[in-house]
Structure 1
């Protein structure tokens, strides 16, 4: 096994490319964008015969060094998927600077590690409040009244808190979404029952808005339109399972309380 030299450079480039792709896929980037980014970074490092294949759960990358005529291939598996598009934007900026020759391999590695280890841009309490605002807004948008804003806000906050905390311990997102839909719907029904709000359907809709799989569904459509059928179908299946989890949680709530 050679250390340093051409293969050392190839290994280093492979590492930063896969790290960039892992961050992008983990935090909500489309698969075709990941593939394009990794291919451009590899070609900017003077490698040829570059091929990248990304799915929602893994990335395969291979390229060839001109002088050695040896192919190097590695893969990385993506176990967790979250939504933080600011990190995707940061990785895109690093890739642009690397392709333009403004960053060395080591500088790119340091920046990517900093992005991967950085905390979320917004604190959890602000995310929960924003979820409540979105829930109240959508309850009004779907025909609710002004008096429905407050119970929808509270129910959406409950849903947001439950899905985050339960996923942290259960490690199964669909179970966390089912539980969050149950608690959010229960909160909505209880608040309307005791006199806060008058349109139950709209309040329940508001409580579910933090759980709606908007980014996975959008990415599924974009992947399908770009020809990435495997990634598009898998993302669509993920969005469908999330929708079924939400529907099941609300169905259980309604069967118990109504």
Structure 2
């Protein structure tokens, strides 16, 4: 029985680690971990979460096992979060036992969109913001160029495993360096819109939204940690933009 409990404890910890690493909010992580444990026959499941690790305790026939896992950030991926939720539901309905669930978790891998599709869509989304804000087609084109090149640069830095803060600062610098040219050469009806719209792809909305959700739902430490990380990303973006403005001498919409 202790062998079964250890296997289930590892399963619960692995599911929680995957959820936390891919951006799920803390309430969902704790809820899914408890549901998996109860669906596997555990009497009690207790979960403690922190910004970079988790602790899970299972109780089965009077025996208690506690395990700790470190959770490295793997980037936002709602496909993984959805797949883990689906495995949990299948366990609750008796379709999977803990062995099959472990096998499915071991073979879960995040799907990635084609990088060129991402670059084009990011460019179009930022350019659309500029267009909606009153920019003409020249502003649209310059915003598309700046944000697409910036996204390419961001992907290249991420593939080389640079620190996210450095990645965001450098991407903001490169993107702003290109967008300031619209102001320097007076391209379009409102060239400053290019500078404002092209860096919107860097806004860390997901961490900030999750931080508020965590604090409202009782996970204050997690919320503060995520808010601090989102704020640091925002600071990095600002430093990159200001550095580009300083280099080019174009202050644009910051004036």
TM-score by length of 1: 0.90
How many residue pairs were aligned?
A: 249
Q: Are the equivalent residues in 1 in contact too, given 2:17–2:69 (CA < 8 A)?
A: yes
Alpha-carbon displacement from aligned partner over 1:33-89 (angstroms, at most 9, x marks no partner): 0000001111111212311112331111111112xx221111111122311112211
The answer to whether structure 1 residue 207 and structure 2 residue 202 are counterparts is no
Residue number in structure 2 paired with 1:32: 27
Where do 1:1-258 residues align within 5 Å? Answer: 6-66=1-61, 69-115=62-108, 117-120=109-112, 122-194=113-185, 196-258=187-249
CA distance in structure 2 between the partners assigned to 1:34 and 1:228 by the alignment: 11
Change in 2 beyond 3 A, CA 1:119/1:188: same
Residue number in structure 1 paired with 2:252: none
CA distance in structure 2 between the partners assigned to 1:199 and 1:109 by the alignment: 56
TM-score by length of 2: 0.91
State the 1:220 CA deviation: 0.8
For the residue of structure 2 that corresponds to 1:82, the secondary structure is coil
**Structure 1: where are the runs of 5+ without partners?**
1-5
Change in 2 beyond 3 A, CA 1:102/1:170: closer
User: After the TM superposition, which parts of structure 1 deviate over 6 Å for at least 4 consecutive aligned residues?
Assistant: none
For the residue of structure 1 that corresponds to 2:57, the secondary structure is strand
**Structure 2: where are the runs of 5+ without partners?**
250-255
State the 1:255 CA deviation: 0.9
Residue number in structure 2 paired with 1:3: none
